[in-house]
Every structure is written in C-alpha cells, then in structure tokens.
Structure 1
Amino acid sequence: MKSYLLLVSLFLAGNTAFSQDSISYQPNKFNQFKEVPLPAIGSNPANGWLFGIAPSATWRMGDPSTTHLSNLVGNFLYTTKKQWIFSSRSTIFLNEDDWILVGDWRYFITSQPTYGLGSRAPNEFAENPLQQGVYWGEQQMDFSWIRFYETVLKRVGDSKFYLGVGYHLDVYSKIESFIDTELPSELNFSHDYYNQQLGFNTDKYTISGLTFNAIMENRDVAVSPYEKNFALVSYKVNPSFLGSEQSSSTLLLDYRHYFNLSEKRKRHLIALWGFGNFLVSGNMPYMGLPSIGYDMFGRGGRGYAQGRFRGESMAYSEAEYRFPLQKNKETFGGTVFLNAASFSSRTTNEKLFTNLNPGYGLGIRFMINKENRTTITADYGFGQKGNSGFYLNINETF
C-alpha cells in the first residue's frame, strides 16, 4: 500500500521531465509544463514488486523567482501479490506561493496482513492471552480502499507558515479476514472483534472528516532536503453527519529537521524525524487507526511491513545519516538509519511508550537529476523478531 512512494523510472534518461530550463515568465500560462508517462517499478514488504506506469507533470503557476515548482504524479500499478493500485498525488503552488493545494486520491484493490493492536502483537498466529477468544499475530485481509483528500492552505504574510482546511474521505469495503489454516469457530479475528465491540461493520465502513492544518515549510527542496526544517499540525474531526460511521477526532504532529555536517558538501547531513498520530475523542474503525507506514507519503517504519503495528495512538522517530560516495560528484550517495515506534491500545491495556519497536538499516542513493535532486533510493531495513524488508523508492524517505 506504499505504492505511491515506490515509483522509479526505468528511463533514467528522462531527466528532462524534471528539468528547470531557463524560460521567461509569461503571466496566466503554465510555465515549463512537462508531462511524461514513465514506466515504473518499485518494491516493499507490503506489496512485493510493483509494475506499471507513473505519468507525471511539473509546471509553475507564477514567476519562477517567487513560485515553487508544482507537481502531479499518477500511479497505475499491479503487484506480485495480485494487487491493483491507482493513485494521484499533487502539490500545487499558486502564484508567489500564496496558496498551496494538496491532493491525495487513491483506489486500491489490495491485501495486507494485520497482527492485532499494540506494540506487543507477535508475528506468529495464536490466541491473544490479553483478550480471550481473539486471535493476534499474522492474519490476512483483503479489501478495497477509496481515498479522496484535498487540502487548501493560505500563506501567512511573507512567512514560511501556512494555515488551511481540508476534506478527507476514506472508504474501506469488501473487507475479508482469513488465515491459511482452519479457524476454530469460537475465536475471532482481531479486525472483526475490535469492530464488533465498538459497533462498526466488519465488511465496510467510511471515515469522512475535515482537517484544520498549520504548516511551516522551510526546506530548501522538499523531495530531498539538505537543510532547514518542516512542521505540520493537523487536527481532524470526523462527524457522523458527514458520513462517518461514528464521530471521532484525531491529532497528527509531524516535524523534520536537517543538520549540515559540511558547508562544502551539503549532501553530508543528519536528518531527524518525529511523528505522532493520536485518537483524541470517539472511536475509529480498525483500518482507520494509526498504523506504521501510514504517514502521508508512507515512508515510516523501514524494517517492517506497512500495517505491521496499529493502535489508538502512535509515536514514531527516526534519525538518518546521509553522505556522498564520490569525492567531487553528487551522483551516488549512501545512508544509514535508525527508527523506533510505539503504539497504545485500550483493548489490550497497553500504554504509549510501554514497548518500543526499533528498526535500522542502510541504503544507496542514485541522483538522476541534480537540479531538482530527483533520486532513486534503495534501502534494506531490519526490525525485531525477524522482520525485514527491501524498499525501492523515488526521492528521500523524509
């Protein structure tokens, strides 16, 4: 389900799709508009290998000296786990960066294992000693997922701060839990038991809400930063009158900071990331709960498959050391990283930070466009209890 992150062009010569040629500004026109349908390939533990096309477009909505480059990426992918993934993501900067429009649209026909709630959920399928009559450990789930997210943000004066609102819709349907062995009739799957206890359907549910957002965008280049920082605070309300099964609210916090270790080689740096997602009020259906790898761009939790851990609240942190591999060129780079996550669960009486799930690993970087720092990333991560995974992506993890 990280598909929208896993796109790597097979045509490395297609750098022109991301180029920023010197073109004079013409008002009321899309400047430097470039559209390229790129064959794509990617990999991660949740999807296996992904194949398809990734049409992309870049353009400017204003004067290049005062307006960031806008971009749109579409994904049309099939995976080795027999999943279909269709998505469109866009970040559009209007003239002089006065407004930002952020879109995230998806339609997935997919599958994913779940393991139960909290940081203690094991790999092995067994009866949960904390919940009699309920399984935890690996349980497969098939489902369809529709997402429609649109956010509008207004710049505050001439600052790096933006305020805005958004509409967020998630519809999960055709949900089916199963295992490869026979299930005793008196025991329940984690997903089904949780939803039944809180009054949600087990085969279909909707989360529909409004977000109130504050952003500080201070990175030099968002896709592969060398310096400065980024912050996001997003409070989301999901009232039943907008279509949610039950009313609820959540709070999302995201902060990233980049420390240069060399003024001459700014690619030599330490990157830090802190991320939290908390259920503030009400109840959320199972798939809507905070889960590892479900950050906005699905990059968290290397060393574990997406959805490996889930709970009512989560806290996540990561540190990454990035460095060039060539003395005078920026084409090749490397990284080592360390992360940790913690999840709370009211159903298993587990509090946040009681247990931690660490991960670590290393990776290689290949920069295919130096102007925009468009980079192919290949990482291998290791988690606890035999969890591991290979991650092939486009651009830096965070």
Structure 2
Amino acid sequence: MKYSILLSLALILIMSINVRAQDSLIYKPNKINSFKWVPLPAVGSNPANGWMFGLAPSATWYMGNPLDTKMSNLVGNFLYTTKQQWIFSSRSNVFLDKNSLILVGDWRYFITSQPTFGLGSGAPNELGEDPNLPGVFQGEQQMDFSLIRFYETVLKRVGTSNFYLGMGYHFDLHSKIENFIDEKTPPTLEFAHDYYNRTLGFDTDRYILSGITLNAVLENRDVAVSPYEKNFALVSYKINPTILGSDQNSSTILLDYRHYFNLSQIRKRHLIALWGLGNFLVSGNLPYMNLPSIGWDMFGRSGRAYAQGRFRGESMVYSEAEYRFPLQKNKETFGGTVFVNAASFSSRTVNEKLFETINPGYGVGFRVMINKQNRTTITADYGWGQKGNSGFYLNVNETF
C-alpha cells in the first residue's frame, strides 16, 4: 500500500508539471469571456473502481463580466479501470451573465460493477445470512450493471440576491444487472438486491427512475470547485411519476448544506469546511440502486473511508468536517487536509432506524493546486473507517 501511495504522489507532481507546460497553449480569447481548457490525463483511485486511467478534461470560463458573474466549470471523465469498468461522465455548473441563471448538469454512462452489502448502516463486510431476513444474503455481494444518467436543472436568480429557484429533469436507467459472489461459489441464498426489488414489485435486471425536481439554492461560494469562504445550500424535492417513465410512483427530498470558515484573512486557504447531507424517501418505493447511498452524490465524494455503495437505505444522513491548510509560507501550490465524517442509514426492510448505527470515518490528504486563478487542484486522500474499511482517493478539485 505504501508503494501505491508514493506512486500516486509522484503522478500528482508529474501531472501538475504537465498542466503548467500546457497552460501556454490554453485558449484565452479575452479577459471577459476567457475560456480555459485543460486536457488533463487522468489517473485516479477509489475503493469501488480501483485505479482509473484515461482523460479528465476540465474547463472554466465566464459567461459575463467576472466582476458580477461567477466562473462556470465543466469536468469530464473518460476512464477505464483496473476492475474492467468504463466510466464516461460530464458534470457542469454554468453561470449566465450576472448570475441570472445557473445550469447544472450531470450526465453519465457507466459499464461498471461494485459490491453491495445489504441495507442499513449495520450491514457487515462478511458474507452470510441476514438474521432479519432468513434466506437472504448480507455482506459483500458483487454486482455488474450499466447506468445511463441524464440530470439537468435550470435555476433562476431571485432579484439581486444569491438565492435561486428552479426545476430540473432527471433520468436513471439501470440495466444488465447481475449479482454474484464469485465464479466458483454458487449462491445458496437470495441476493439482497433481488430480494428487495422482488418484494416491492421491481424487476431485478432493469429499472427506470424518471421525473422532475423542484429546487431552491443559496449560492454564496466564491469559487464552486474550491471555496474559501461563505456557504452553499440546496433543497431538492424529486417527484418520480410513472407517467414520465418511472417503474413506480415515488418522491424524495435532498438537503445539502456547506459552510466555509476562514481561519486567516491573509491566507484564505487556511479554513475549516463543514458539510451536511440528508436524502430521504418521502413517498412510494425506489428501486434498490436508486436508494440513498454513500458515495452517490453528484461528484461521488461522500464517505471517504468507505467504497461507493457501501451503505444504502430509504433515508440517509451524512456529515463531514475538514481542516484545510497551506503547506508553504508564501505560496499556494501545496496544501494539506485532515477530515472526519459520519453517516447513518435507515431501512424498513431490515427494521433499522436512522441513527441506530453510525459509521464514522477519518483521514488525511495532500493537495497540489495546478491553476491558482481557477483553483484547479489535484487531491490525494487516505481514509479509514470501521471494521477494516479504508480507501485511497485521487481526484480533481476539493471534495466539497
């Protein structure tokens, strides 16, 4: 493990040197609408995907005068992983002139796999029979699946405030779902995914969630990809009617709040960042893979110390605190972080209530800022959780 971390840090330095060399080739049409594109070669890592290789192009630009218009950004991923997965995604935040509108996009196409462990915060690592569900597995069960995701939201600014209201459309298609333990061990019990879907009337190999969102956003952050100050809040009510293609009617509510406290007005990179996230099923039923789950936020950053999808349930509450600091006296190139987080899930299926079990995590990180003006940053983190869970994470831009 120590050799992979050393290799990762070396790759970070190499990538930062390459990006600095490419900076002179970046297209800069003028000061107002300056478009900066970085064709960054991607080397990433997390427990769910293993090592990832490919391209992670990022772009920043202004749709108006930088004095009264926030910076727009887009991050893409075209990746192949050591677990034989293909990951294609595009995630964007576009601020129109004078921040009159915000366009938020999350488009994905995955041919992928990940383990699932059953429902609730108490799901163990070890494979066995669920004591609450005789005849059903709990513990690590592998899943192969494909995902097509299209989320797009339009938010309208209210007057001259930093408050926005808007609507969006979301579509998720999970297909080609296959559960297995390993190639040599035949299943003797029913898989948790199949039991849940079958019991609630969903298919076990393909399902759709499609609907609209009603959104309220407070956007006070100075730079969304790496904030130094102020706060961000989101309330998103999601309605999933069968008339728009969902397999069953349902609704959920997502609450997201982030706050950044400066510890020095001279070095604003020296700060404490707080994040609170809640995702709750309000009505109806969701297919298994659409249930609130760790690591399935927009940028897949929640739950460092645990693999994506490690915990899942009808309701989820997550919190994180991170201390960020520069590592150089007069420069911003290198930085560090320490963080703690905690998550809890509820599940009617296994009769577990919210906060009955809490899964904590903690860790440390290293930062390389490759573009000071736009605060584009390479991040490397290692997190530790309960019951032997841990993971290394190599990404672009701050976690939140």
- Alignment TM-score, normalising by the size of structure 2: 0.93
Letter in 1 for 2:65: D
User: 2:19 is matched with which residue?
Assistant: 12
Match of 1:229 in 2: 231
Amino acid at match of 2:89: S
Partner of residue 264, structure 1: 266
How far apart, CA to CA, are the structure 2 residues paired with 1:128 and 1:106?
33
Asked if the contact 1:17–1:58 (Cα under 8 Å) also holds between the matched residues in 2, the reply is: no
Identical positions, percent: 75
Q: What CA deviation, in whole Å up to 9, does each residue of 1:149-191 have, x standing for no partner?
A: 0100000011010110000000000000000253454x20000
C-alpha deviation, 1:215, in angstroms: 0.5
Aligned pair count reads 386
| 2:127 matched residue in structure 1 | 125
SS in 2 for 1:177: strand
Per the TM alignment, residue 368 of structure 1 is displaced from its structure 2 partner at its CA by 1.0
Match of 1:116 in 2: 118
Give the direction of change, closer, same or farther, for the CA distance of 1:36–1:24 in structure 2 (3 Å limit).
closer
SS of residue paired to 2:70: coil
- How do 1:295-334 residues align onto structure 2 when only pairs under 5 Å count? 295-334=297-336
Asked if 1 retains the 8 angstrom alpha-carbon contact of 2:215 and 2:237, the reply is: yes
1:107-164: CA deviations, max 9, x gaps? 0000000000000000000000111110000000000000000100000011010110
C-alpha spacing 1:18/1:170, structure 2 compared with 1 (3 Å)? farther
List gaps (5 residues or longer) in structure 2: 1-10
In 2, Cα distance between equivalents of 1:225 and 1:57: 17
Task: Name the counterpart of 2:185.
Answer: 182
Instruction: Name whichever of 319-328 and 354-363 sits farther off.
Output: 319-328
Q: Would the aligned equivalents of 2:19 and 2:38 in 1 still touch at CA under 8 Å?
A: no
Displacement of 1:261: 1.2
Q: Give the Cα separation in 1 of the matches to 2:21 and 2:66.
A: 22
1:196 is aligned to 2:203:
no
1:267-282 alignment to 2 at 5 Å?
Answer: 267-282=269-284
RMSD over aligned CA atoms reads 1.8
Q: Is the 8 A contact 2:27 2:36 kept in 1?
A: no
Residue 19 of structure 1 deviates from its aligned partner by 7.8
Compare 223-232 and 64-73 and name the one that shifted more: 64-73
Change (3 A) 1:53 1:289: same
CA shift, 1:18, in A, is: 11
The corresponding residue for 2:379 is 377
TM-score norm. by structure 1 comes to 0.93
Give CA deviations for 1:6-52 in whole Å, capped at 9, x if unaligned.
Answer: x9793232563898979354xxxxx2234443321111111011111
Q: Which residue does 2:287 correspond to in 1?
A: 285
Equivalent in 355, 361, 364 of residue 362 of structure 1: 364
C-alpha distance in 1 between matches for 2:24 and 2:116: 38
